[in-house]
Amino acid sequence: MPKLITVFEDRYSLEPISNEHRMELSSLESIWGRQNISFSVDNRVLLRKYVGFIATPSLQLQILPKLYEDAASAEDFEEEKRSSVRMLFRLLASSGFLSVKDIPEPQLIAAMNGDLLEIFIHIFIKRFLELFQKQIHRQYEDFEGNLAFIRGRILFQRQLLRNGGFKHKHYVSYQEFTEDNLLNQIIKATMISLRTLTKNEENKTSLSHALLLLEDICPIRLTESMFQRVRFNRLNEDYRPVFELAKMFYLNRQPGVHAGDERTFTFLIPLNQLFEFSLYQWLDKGLSSDDWVVRYQTPQRYLDAEKEVFLLRPDITIACSRAGSDTPIEMIVDAKYKNPISEENTRLSESDVYQMLAYAVRYQCNRLFLVYPVFRANKYFQNPLATYLIHNGNQEIRISALHIDIASEDLDQIQKEFIKLICHFFES
C-alpha cells in the first residue's frame, strides 16, 4: 500500500523520496509539465504551480499551498499541513471554483491524517448516505423489449418482426419509475473504484455500506459521455454535489492526459488561478452594483493593437458602470501567490511591476493592486506593503501591494476587510 507523501507547492520536500517514487513522478510529467517538477541532488522533490493530489497503485502524493515561508522543522510541517488543508477547502467553498461546499473540521483532518484524497472520499460518501436516507433517487426510465405479459404499449411492427406468430411474447415499450437509473449507476461505479483505493477504515466501511444500499443498481463501466447525459431537475437537484464529486474523481480535474484512467486519481488545480478566482468572487460579491462592474480576465487587449502582439489579460478589472457602453477601467487587481517580503523588506518582482505598468498604459487605468497571501512571518506587516507612484505625463499611476490572510478561520471577515481596503486606496 503506497505511503502518503505530502509536499508544499514551490518548496522542496522535507524528506528525500525513494528512487521508485522518483521514477513514478517523472513518468507523470505530462500531468504537471516538465518545467514544474525538479529534484535536488539528495532526491528531494519540488513541484510548482499545482495543488491537490495524485494517487496511483504505487504512489500517493499531495501538494498543498504553503503558508509558512519560513517552515523548516517537522513540528511546523504537521501544523502547516493541517492549516493548509483547511484553507484549501475554504477557498474552494468560498470561490465556487469547485462545487464542494463542505469545509472539513480539524477533527476530520486529523482523523484522515491530512490526506486530501481521503477527505474528498469522506465528503462524497457522507453526502450520499445523508441524501439516500432522506430520499432515494428514482426517475422514469424507458424500457423496450420482449415480455411474457403486456405492459405499456405493444410496438406492433417490431412485434411482427421479432415474434412472428408467437403469442406468448409481446414486444412492448413503457416507462418505469426506478432507482436503477444512470445517476445512481454513475455513483455506484465511482464507489467501487474508490473502495479499491481508500486506506481509511472508516471510508472503507462507509463505502461498503453504501454499495449494499445500491445492490439493485446495475454495475456499469464509466465513460465521459455518461456524465454528459445526466440532466438535473427539481427531483434530483439535491444529488448534484455528489454527482460533481463523482465527475471530479472520474475526469481527474487536472491538466494532463489521464482523464478516465481508473488506476490514476488526480485533483490538481493551478494555485495562483484558485487564489485569483477567489479574489474575483469576493470583489464581484462585494462591489458589483449599479455603480461597479467586476470582470474576470477581461477585457483582453493587445499592448500593440495595430500589430496584435503582446496580449494582456489582467486577472480582475473593475469598471464604472455609470459610463454606459464605453466603460472605463477604474481599477485593476492582479493576484500573486508568492511571498513579497524578504529580509524584513517588501521586495516586489520587477517583472510584476512592469506587468502592472503595461496594464496601466494600455487600459488607461491609474489605480492598480498587486495582492499576495499573508505568510506566517509577515503577519505583522501593515497594508499597503508598498506603494509606487509613476508619473505618466499629467497622470499619476499608483501601484499598491497588499496582502490578505486567506488562512484565517473567519474568511467572511477577511473578504469584508479586503473590499474596504480596495475602496479605501481607490478613494484616496
Q: What DSSP letter does each residue of 106-155 carry, written as one string?
A: HHHHHHTTT-HHHHHHHHHHHHHHHHHHH----EEEEEEEEESS--SEE-
Q: What is the mean pLDDT of the chain?
A: 85
Cβ–Cβ under 8 Å, residues 97 and 89? no
Q: How would you class 425 by CB atoms within 10 Å of its CB: exposed for 0-12, middle for 13-18, buried for 19 or more?
A: middle
Cβ–Cβ under 8 Å, residues 366 and 395? yes
- pLDDT tens-digit series, residues 41-60: 998 999 999 999 888 777 88
- Band of pLDDT at residue 161, cut at 50, 70 and 90: low
| Residue 27 or residue 346, greater confidence | 346
Task: Please give the pLDDT value at position 256.
Answer: 45
- In this prediction, residues 190-205 reach a mean pLDDT of 91
What is the rounded CA–CA span in Å between residue 314 and residue 356?
9
- Band of pLDDT at residue 257, cut at 50, 70 and 90: very low
The DSSP call for residue 253 is S
- Band of pLDDT at residue 325, cut at 50, 70 and 90: low
Cβ–Cβ under 8 Å, residues 243 and 186? yes
- pLDDT tens-digit series, residues 385-418: 999 999 888 889 999 999 999 999 888 899 999 9
pTM of the model: 0.82
What is the rounded CA–CA span in Å between residue 275 and residue 335?
7
- Whether the pLDDT of residue 9 is over 70: the answer is yes
Contacts of 123 (CB under 8 A, 6+ apart): 100, 102, 104, 245
Cβ–Cβ under 8 Å, residues 357 and 390? yes
| Residue 338 or residue 28, greater confidence | 338
Chain center to CA of 156: 52
Give the residue among 240, 288, 4, 278 at the shortest CA–CA distance from 118: 4
